[in-house]
Amino acid sequence: MLKGGEFIVKESKPEAIFIPEEWSEEQLMIRDMVKDFCNKEIIQPMKKAGKELEASKDKEEIVALLDKSAELGFCGMSIAPEYGGMDLDFNTGLLFGEAIASGFSFATTIGAQTSIGSLPIVYYGTEEQKQKYLPKIATAEYKASYALTEPSAGSDANSGKTKAIPTEDGKHYILNGQKMWITNGGFAHVFIVFAKIEDDRKLSAFIVEKDFGGITLGEEEKKLGIKGSSTVQVFFNDCKVPAENLLAKRGEGFKIALNILNSGRIKLSAGAIGGCKFALSQGIEYAIERKQFKKSISEFGAIKFKIGEMATKIFATESAVYRTGKYIDVKEAALLADGATKNKAKIDSLREYAVECAILKVYGSEVLDYCVDETLQIYGGMGYSAETGIEMGYRDARITRIYEGTNEINRMLSFGELMKRAMQTKEIDIVTPGKKIPKAYMGQMFSSSYSVGQEDLIVANMKRLFLAIAGIAGQKLKLKMIDEQEIVMNLSDILAEAYISESVLLRVQKLRSSDHDKGKIAVMEQMLQLHLYQGIERIKVAANHAIDSLPEGTKQGLQRKMVKRFARRYEVNPKDLRRSIADYFVLEKGYSL
């Protein structure tokens, strides 16, 4: 099994990865149960009422939805059975995240309950803390929230000013400070609060109950989207927190926050898949029904372009997300077999794939934004009207590029974490593969294009191009690299494209030798070709931007030749591919893979 980030220097085998076609009946039943809940309890009532949920007006209804979801076991997905939960494996949890996305802003509400609001206790809590809080969170008797961000501490979370001062008898901490953008804050019973004890340099984490007193809530924020999700400021004024409610050790809060965010990032990407599939299916349904010039608009090339693009992007995203989710599960099992505690195994397996989680957060959220935008465009004027509900999905999606760390932060994180493992901890050897690049370049000097059947080579060359440009940039810029954020983000985009493209290729390769439906495999082959055709172009742009942004005299001439050689034209017809892909999904009346 590949270590986190190691995909860039090692070849993966199709048989070693998980693909969505391998979901068990039980896993698919969970998915379908969640989607049925969303349809019955959220989508249909909203259609009947002709309006979306708003936390400022419909708080009781939102709380009731959370209670109903708990009755079905949804709030205990990540909590062990001994505390009243189901303790699903990580990949099944991602599938749950995909399914609950059809609940619109309620996905954010339950996401806070099952992820950031409870996982700090699941992963870091003492036995006493788990016994006290997790059973009530699993049943939604306690609504959970997560309080990290402050007015002056967003991406730089460790600069927060909230203070916790121990009492003289050492039995309590007195908490003072302000938190903002707190999901579920308007009705939460429990807050995971990050604060600095006295003059500590690093954050600590606390389990804080609303009933401790000294807590004041701001008004519900007026937001662009996810209006049905409660978002408030929370003020702590001499809030008295029992000493036993400190999570983990003093000064370990920032570490807790980072590890929980690794989980949240890939879960966000899984949710994005659900949103994309919902949007595409709505767009296809409307395109079939809408008639112009005496025929369905689904027959027009311009609409087929949109449908073919959306389907391909969705296919690519889910290929990478569930590949990574399985890696996390396998790593956890290996750590348990080596004697790690369950908590440590969960934490370390997520930390192992921090590079991939950051990549997927960026990729998934940007694909979601693309899909909701193009779905609205298919609807035309009706999409802009609140009557159809399409504009609500458009507004709801926009937050995904901001929370769980902005996409800019995550781009820099994926590259920075990879370089840390390569240059500091020496977990990944990028030097040896880098030395082989000139030979590969010389061996392809007279190749002017790629042909169908050379998909393995395309992906391999994406990796080579990343290593070549990252190597030259590192040699020239050294420690100044951290200040060249534009170049880092260019390199991150190449890194991401290599991982996503390889994931699509491996999925198709694995299905080729299976007894899966041949018609579906055929359209997957087409989506692989279309994705690689465009992936080459995306890498070419990012690579040239990075090279042109380096100081003169940085072997730029050689690097440009490598771009020309390793990102050369792929001999497929993108128009025909899109049309064929679109025809398949129009016939299916939605995304059916």
pLDDT digits (tens, 9 = 90+) for 5-43: 999 999 999 999 999 999 999 999 999 999 999 999 999
> Strands 163-166 and 190-197, how do they pair?
parallel
As given in the structure block, the two tokens for residue 222 are 């007026």
Report d(CA 280, CA 313) in Å as an integer.
Answer: 11
Q: How many domains does the chain have?
A: 2
H helices of 455-516, in order, are 455-477, 485-512
Q: What confidence score (pLDDT) does residue 557 get? A: 86
Calculate mean pLDDT across residues 38-56.
94
Catalytic pick from 404, 417, 455, 502?
A: 404
Q: What confidence score (pLDDT) does residue 433 get? A: 95
Predicted TM-score (pTM) of this structure: 0.96
**Average pLDDT across the chain, whole number:** 96
Query: In the block, which residue shows the tokens 């997957």?
Result: 524
> Strands 569-570 and 449-450, how do they pair?
parallel
Asked whether the predicted pLDDT for residue 553 surpasses 80, the reply is no
- Residue 567 identity: A
Last residue of a domain, one of 254, 283, 302: 254
Task: Give Cα separations from 135 to 67, 77, 121, 138, 340 (angstroms).
Answer: 14, 12, 11, 5, 24
Domain that residue 453 falls in: 409-588
Asked whether the predicted pLDDT for residue 513 surpasses 90, the reply is no
Is 69 inside any structural domain? no
Q: How does DSSP classify residue 152?
A: T
Is 372 inside any structural domain? no
Report d(CA 105, CA 100) in Å as an integer.
Answer: 10
The H or E element containing residue 165 is: strand 163-166
Q: pLDDT tens-digit profile of 463-487? A: 999 999 999 999 888 888 889 999 9
Instruction: Quickly count: other Cβ atoms within 10 Å of residue 212's Cβ.
Output: 18
Report d(CA 12, CA 16) in Å as an integer.
Answer: 7
Last residue of a domain, one of 213, 232, 254: 254
Asked whether the predicted pLDDT for residue 555 surpasses 80, the reply is no
Is 555 inside any structural domain? yes
> 317-337: b or e for each residue (b if 16 or more CB lie within 10 Å)?
bbbbbbbbbbbbbbbbeebee
**Is residue 404 annotated as part of the catalytic site, yes or no?**
yes
Is 430 inside any structural domain? yes
Calculate mean pLDDT across residues 213-219.
98
Is 436 inside any structural domain? yes
Q: What confidence score (pLDDT) does residue 144 get? A: 98
Report d(CA 270, CA 272) in Å as an integer.
Answer: 5
Calculate mean pLDDT across residues 306-311.
98
Residue 536 belongs to a domain with what CATH number?
Answer: 1.20.140.10
Q: pLDDT tens-digit profile of 543-552? A: 999 999 998 8
Q: Tell me which residue of 111, 118, 102 sits closest to 31, measured CA to CA.
A: 102
Is 98 inside any structural domain? no
Q: How does DSSP classify residue 150?
A: B
Is 211 inside any structural domain? yes
Last residue of a domain, one of 254, 288, 320: 254
Residue 175 belongs to a domain with what CATH number?
Answer: 2.40.110.10
Calculate mean pLDDT across residues 554-579.
93
Is 161 inside any structural domain? yes
Q: What confidence score (pLDDT) does residue 552 get? A: 81
